[in-house]
Structure 1
């Protein structure tokens, strides 16, 4: 048995959850915050059999898209002089971790 941690953008979370549930995966949804942009995201926890891991990852990948976003940035132009200008960064997609489960009980 495996435990999948799938971290996706809040923009994609509903689509990912619906697709996983439709494929009969049981998921737990957690509201989390990312470190790079301090933006909200969603982490899904999904326990599944070893042979179904690739299917779950495929579903998450299909429903979590990468996109670009403009974010403010600061650049220094000398002593004490700063100018803010937007920088385009890539956001979205998914970060997925798969771990072994030593013991599972549903009470």
Structure 2
């Protein structure tokens, strides 16, 4: 048995969970926050038999595309304490980070 830990963008998670549950996979959803953009992410925990790992990864790939997004960043003005100028920055968001780990024991009570 494997535990799939998938970290996905909040914008992608709704359709992803729908597709996973339609395919009879049980999912635990955890609200998390990304460190770089300080934006909302969702971490999914999915326990599956070894032969189902590729199927789950395929569903995640189908639902979590990487895309470009413009955010506003601030830069301090030199010589002016506490004064910042906002400017747009294009970053890549979406996609998924997936970890697959072996499960030594699984108990469901």
Q: Which runs of 5+ in 2 are unaligned?
A: none
Of 83, 90, 99, the residue aligned with 1:97 is 99
The TM-score normalised by the length of structure 1 is: 0.91
Q: 2:90 aligns with which of 82, 88, 91?
A: 88
Shift of 1:74: 3.3
Secondary structure in 2 aligned to 1:72? strand
Matches within 5 A, 1:63-78: 63-75=63-75, 78=78
Q: CA deviation at 1:102?
A: 0.7
Q: Please provide the CA RMSD for this pair.
A: 1.4
Between 1:14-23 and 1:72-81, the stretch displaced more is 72-81
TM-score, length-scaled by structure 2: 0.90
How big is each residue's C-alpha offset from its partner over 1:7-39, in whole Å with a ceiling of 9 and x where there is no partner? 111111110000001111111111111111111
Secondary structure of the residue aligned to 2:74 is strand
- State the partner residue of 1:11: 11
1:84: how far off?
2.5
Tell me, in whole angstroms, the C-alpha distance in 2 between the residues paired with 1:9 and 1:19. Answer: 16
Aligned residue for 1:58?
58
TM-fit CA distance, 1:71: 1.2
Q: Which structure 1 residue ranges, 5 or more long, are not aligned?
A: none
Shift of 1:67: 1.3
Alignment length, in residue pairs? 107
Instruction: Please name the residue that 2:48 is paired with.
Output: 48
